[in-house]
Amino acid sequence: MRCLGELESAVMRVLWDSVEPIKVREVLLRLDTGRSLAYTTVLTVLDNLHRKGWVQRDLDGRAYRYRPTRTREEAAARSLHQVLVASGAPDVVLAHFVASVSDEQAEALRTALRERQRD
């Protein structure tokens, strides 16, 4: 999965915040980028996200409804994994990361590792 640009990330936030699949016009109305965007710009971004595998689209009449292919948390975890792999030294990066987390985050990591061992 590739990294997202600023506008792609904003569109994904709209989709993740939506309860159900939404059309381009709805995405455009909910976007808060601080600038005016054209319908065709948002359509192009959604088409690119579909091509990259970030969103799925289903035809509803003459327009598509878009929804994310994974949750925000799954996407974040995948991005973290890609950073680890790209670092060339994932064990060192993990050690630095663990040293930087709060006590609550460390406990969440311990819990996740215990659950992983049970699987």
Please spell the DSSP secondary structure of 56-118, one letter per residue: EEEEETTEEEEEESS-HHHHHHHHHHHHHHHHS-HHHHHHHHHHHS-HHHHHHHHHHHHHHHH
| 54, 68 contact by CB (below 8 A) | yes
The correct CATH number of 6-68 out of 3.30.479.30, 1.10.10.10, 3.40.50.720, 3.40.640.10 is 1.10.10.10
**Does residue 28 surpass a pLDDT of 60?**
yes
Q: What is the DSSP letter of 3?
A: P
Q: What is the pTM of this model?
A: 0.81
**Does residue 2 surpass a pLDDT of 60?**
no
Task: Measure the CA–CA gap between 41 and 88, rounded to whole angstroms.
Answer: 37
**Mean pLDDT confidence for 7-14:** 96
**Does residue 33 surpass a pLDDT of 90?**
no
Q: Residue 4 — pLDDT band, cuts 50, 70, 90?
A: confident
Domain ranges of the chain: 6-68, 72-118
Give the pLDDT confidence score for residue 1 in this predicted structure.
44
Which pLDDT tens digit goes with each residue over 40-92?
A: 999 999 999 999 999 999 999 999 999 999 999 999 998 889 889 999 999 99
Give the pLDDT confidence score for residue 72 in this predicted structure.
95
Give the pLDDT confidence score for residue 3 in this predicted structure.
75
Give the pLDDT confidence score for residue 99 in this predicted structure.
94
